[in-house]
């Protein structure tokens, strides 16, 4: 008989960072909405994917869990349909790059069948048996690898697995609300993941607020508590303070949604892409939650629900999300849509006018007089790109022993030794997103970092 144990290991208190308090948090209620007609799977949602190979063509019928494409670099990892229906379009970009595979969904979803197990049966399965079903069904892309922040290599063995049980990004969904009642599936997912590492599965919780029983009652994991401003919820920050990555080491990370989806695969025998997303932001009339499936077209959720038409629609959060159209599709890894005003205007001497109505990390000219106040922000960058100005501000929002300014300069210089020495193995885009927000030089820091990660990975 297996004995479950839970370890409470570390309590981490972070001081560096910055909470971006915005207007438009989603009310904790589910809206009644008509399901979108179409859903999409986007190869561009997966960093590091270079050669997606289609396994379908327009006009084909698919079920939820049917294979849609794979990456030629790792042919065993299948990317599968989130819903059943007809493939109505394969959208391509420059050089025939695959951008989206669109599915016209059935009114009632049908599923591919996979092996179904009880909780006790899971304990008797080998890693190889678990891995085979995860690769075929489409849940494997839920597992990311550090370093690089790409889909995990199924032939590797990580020294540990990390799960962040809270999201500290602006307007982030409440995990207690969106995952309520899925304790059994979450535990099953943990039991599966436990077979993939000789180390520990770290489940990291918010030390400041209420924590869902989904996480507090989890068994056979190491529970850690993290407190402090954003980016306290970033799994990369948590790894840095609990079990840092050295050269030659790797860890895997999984979101709570990914853990639950893995659990559902083995308990129910199907690829279940059902999810709850938040529609949030200052320009949303009724910010609230919606039940849908991954890859949903968002048009039904925002129809007649905007304060103005001149908005920026973001799949994800304002720091790390992607701009999409009003009839665009939510990203594979996203659980929210954020809608804020478009900032395409010029403001004369806007950087020097005294005001208490602008959100800024810089405490100058009366900015940020009330740090608890909620602000309405737009997409205006209030300046143009300029020379890399060293202000020391990056280090004030970076709760890791990493010097972002020097790391970014090493990337721009393509100095591999310096990149490694300055900690590139420990970070991905979301870990430096606050640096981009406070950067007076207006650089695309997340793009620069991804370029550096690609250089290191494929060198």
CB-based contacts of 184, cutoff 8 Å, min separation 6: 119, 263, 267
Q: Rounded CA gap, 317 and 337, in Å?
A: 7
**Ranges of each domain in the chain:** 7-30+115-268, 38-105, 393-457
My answer on whether omega of the bond before 147 falls inside 30° of 0, hence cis, is yes
From CA 161, how far away is CA 147, in angstroms rounded? 13
The answer to whether 121 and 133 have CB atoms below 8 angstroms apart is no
CATH classification number, 7-30+115-268, choose in 1.20.1440, 1.10.287, 3.40.50, 1.10.3470? 3.40.50
For residue 318, the tally of other CB atoms under 10 A from its CB is 21
pLDDT value at residue 273: 98
Are the C-beta atoms of residues 76 and 105 closer than 8 Å to each other? no
| Residue 355 CB partners (closer than 8 Å, separation 6+) | 365, 366, 367
pTM reported for the whole predicted model = 0.94
Query: Greatest CA separation found in the chain?
Result: 71
Residue 380: what pLDDT? 84
Tokens linked to 300: 């039904």
According to CATH, what is the number of the domain 38-105? 2.40.50
pLDDT along the chain (459 residues), means of 10: 55 94 95 89 94 96 98 94 98 94 97 95 95 98 97 97 97 96 97 97 92 92 96 98 93 98 98 97 96 96 93 97 97 97 77 67 56 83 74 91 94 96 96 93 94 92
């Amino acid at each position: 008989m297996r004995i479950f144990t839970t370890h409470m290991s570390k309590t981490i208190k972070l001081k560096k960072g910055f909470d971006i308090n915005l207007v438009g948090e989603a009310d904790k209620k589910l809206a009644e909405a008509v399901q979108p007609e179409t859903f999409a799977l986007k190869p561009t949602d997966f960093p590091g994917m270079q050669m997606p190979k289609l396994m379908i063509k327009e006009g084909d019928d698919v079920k939820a869990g049917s294979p849609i494409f794979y990456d030629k670099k790792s042919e065993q990892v299948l990317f599968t349909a989130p819903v059943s229906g007809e493939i109505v379009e394969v959208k391509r970009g420059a050089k025939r790059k695959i951008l989206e595979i669109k599915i016209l969904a059935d009114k009632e979803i049908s599923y591919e069948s996979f092996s179904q197990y009880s909780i006790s049966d899971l304990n008797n399965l080998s890693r190889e048996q678990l891995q085979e079903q995860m690769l075929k069904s489409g849940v494997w892309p839920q597992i990311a690898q550090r370093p690089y922040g790409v889909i995990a290599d199924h032939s590797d063995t990580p020294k540990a697995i990390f799960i962040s049980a809270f999201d500290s990004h602006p307007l982030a969904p409440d995990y207690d609300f969106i995952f309520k009642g899925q304790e059994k599936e979450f535990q099953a997912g943990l039991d599966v993941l436990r077979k993939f590492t000789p180390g520990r599965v770290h489940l990291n919780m918010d030390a400041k607020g209420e924590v869902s029983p989904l996480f507090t009652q989890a068994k056979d994991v190491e529970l850690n508590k993290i407190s402090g401003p954003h980016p306290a919820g970033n799994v990369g920050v948590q790894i840095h303070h609990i079990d840092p990555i050295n050269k030659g080491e790797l860890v895997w990370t999984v979101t709570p949604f990914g853990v639950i989806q893995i659990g559902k695969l083995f308990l129910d025998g199907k690829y279940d892409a059902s999810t709850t997303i938040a529609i949030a932001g200052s320009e949303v009339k009724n910010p609230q939650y919606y039940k849908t499936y991954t890859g949903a077209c968002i048009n039904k959720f925002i129809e007649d629900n905007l304060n103005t038409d001149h908005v920026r629609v973001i799949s994800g959060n304002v720091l790390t999300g992607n701009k999409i159209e009003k009839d665009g599709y939510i990203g594979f890894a996203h659980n929210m849509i954020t809608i804020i005003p478009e900032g395409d205007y010029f403001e004369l001497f806007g950087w020097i006018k005294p005001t208490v109505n602008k959100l800024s990390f810089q405490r100058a000219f009366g900015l940020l007089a009330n740090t608890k106040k909620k602000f309405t922000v737009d997409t205006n960058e209030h300046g143009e790109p300029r020379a890399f100005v060293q202000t020391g501000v990056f280090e004030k929002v970076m709760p890791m022993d990493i010097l972002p300014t020097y790391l970014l300069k090493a990337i721009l210089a393509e100095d591999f030794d310096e990149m490694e020495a300055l900690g590139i193995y420990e970070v991905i885009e979301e870990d430096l997103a606050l640096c981009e927000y406070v950067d007076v030089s207006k650089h695309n820091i997340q793009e620069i970092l991804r370029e550096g990660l690609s250089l290191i990975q494929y060198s």
